[in-house]
Amino acid sequence: MRDLTSQSQSRRQFVRGLTLAAGAWPFVSLGKTSSVRRIFITGSTDGLGRGAAVTLMREGHQVVLHARSKERAAAAFADLAPNAAGVVIGDLASAAQTRAIADQVNKIGRMDAIIHNAGIFRESNRGTTPEGHAKVLAVNTLAPYMLTALIDRSARLIYVGSSMHHGGDDSLRDIDWLERRWDTSRAYSESKLYVTALAFAIARRWPKVLSNVVDPGWVPTKMGGPSAPDDLEEGHLTQTWLAVSDEAAAKVSGRYWHHRQQQKPAAEALDSDFQDRLIAKLAELTGIVLASG
Ligand SMILES: NC(=O)c1ccc[n+]([C@@H]2O[C@H](COP(=O)([O-])OP(=O)(O)OC[C@H]3O[C@@H](n4cnc5c(N)ncnc54)[C@H](OP(=O)(O)O)[C@@H]3O)[C@@H](O)[C@H]2O)c1
């Protein structure tokens, strides 16, 4: 086992290396943080999830990374894995693999914060997951619901939403796209309305947990495309700030954020009746009941 001096030397070398390798991510302080935190980030192979992982690791926090497969992890985490607090594997489109992700995280230990970041957008058709669900619903809504219910409760939960959630509605009619003609934009909007309402339902049900939603803006990731107009760096910094900052402004719950400013979410997401109907539906679709308090 390496002694503490060599451990801290190698951490300093790693942080220096990250700063050089991740030149695209400028140094931005995450605000006052008194201690090292352990954070799990879904979808940390690319885009905003990877940006959040790099920023948090550079600040000295312990990050648990996630990839859909061992092959993807090997390709994406060569630089990050040696200094990560863990790497968990699983395809979020599969309920069985999502359960396995929760088990892997629980084996590592309790997380101080979880950033539910992974998401998909432009699916040309409904698709069918191993459990028969629409893929966008499974990855963007069912998976964060399952992980919220199955991972040992964290003090802070951050759900990555989208301004497109305003395009959803509260009917919950055909949530799994079994009857309607496929509409990729609508499916994404609905999935993001659901995950936003889920976050606010958690804030209401679990008062000791800080549960918030972040709209990262339209940013040039694999999902956003090269001509996305918003700032890529700003796209992940609200999530990381909410995950670790001790500033009073970051220690709130049930809020909707964009660039560290609170914004007004869709009225449906704040409606407790809609939240309860949604949670009941998600329990029905996943077979997993969310603890009430
Ligand atoms: N980019 C934007 O303009 C924008 C705007 C509003 C909201 N958002 C939200 O921001 C979040 C991050 O998006 P991004 O722009 O960073 O997208 P991205 O670059 O496409 O990255 C998405 C991440 O999720 C992972 N992922 C997707 N499906 C998965 C699955 N079935 N199992 C496991 N991992 C999976 C991806 O893994 P692979 O690398 O293996 O594909 C990747 O790590 C999403 O929730 C998205 O809806 C993005």
Q: What sections of 118-233 are H helices per DSSP?
A: 135-137, 143-150, 184-205
Q: How confident is the model at residue 22 (pLDDT cuts 50, 70, 90)?
A: very low
Give the start-to-end residue ranges of the domains of the chain.
34-286
pLDDT grade for 145, boundaries at 50, 70 and 90: very high
Contacts of 187 (CB under 8 A, 6+ apart): 123, 126, 134, 136, 137, 177
3-state secondary structure of 116: strand
* Mean pLDDT calculated for residue range 209-214: 98
Contact indicator for 188, 121 with CB cutoff of 8 Å: yes
**46 CA: nearest ligand 1 atom:** 43
Concatenated DSSP letters of 132-147:
S--HHHIIIIIHHHHH
> What pLDDT does 13 receive?
52
Q: What is the pLDDT of residues 60-79, one digit of tens each?
A: 999 999 999 999 999 999 99
Task: Give dist(CA 95, CA 93) in Å, integer.
Answer: 7
5-19, 201-215, 219-233, 256-270: range with lowest mean pLDDT: 5-19
* 213: pLDDT strictly greater than 90: yes
Q: How far apart are CA 135 and CA 63, in angstroms?
A: 27
CATH, domain 34-286, list 3.40.50.720, 3.40.605.10, 3.90.79.10, 1.10.630.10: 3.40.50.720
pLDDT at 2 over 80: no
Confirm whether pTM is higher than 0.85.
Answer: yes
217: left (phi over 0), alpha (psi -120 to 50) or beta: left
List, for residues 100-119, the tens digit of each pLDDT value. Answer: 999 999 999 999 999 999 99
For Cα atoms 261, 38, 139, give the angle at the middle one, nearest 5 degrees. 70
Active site (annotated) includes residue 70: no
Residue 12 reports pLDDT greater than 60: no
Choose one of 91, 137, 221 to mutate for the ligand 1 pocket test, by most ligand atoms within 8 angstroms of C-beta.
Answer: 221
Residue 293: the pLDDT is: 84
Q: Whose CA is nearest to atom 22 of ligand 1?
A: 118
- Nearest CA to 200 out of 279, 138, 101 is that of 279
Q: What is the amino acid identity at position 212?
A: N
Cα 192–Cα 43–Cα 175 angle in degrees, nearest 5? 30
In angstroms, how far is the first alpha carbon of the chain from the final one?
42
Q: What's the half-sphere exposure (Cβ side, CA atoms, 13 Å) at 220?
A: 9
Residue 148 has pLDDT above 60, yes or no: yes
DSSP state letter for 231: -
Which residue among 159, 188, 194, 256 is the active-site one? 188
Band of the pLDDT at 173, cuts 50, 70, 90?
A: very high
Substitution site in 25, 68, 87, 122 for ligand 1 pocket (most atoms within 8 Å of beta carbon): 68
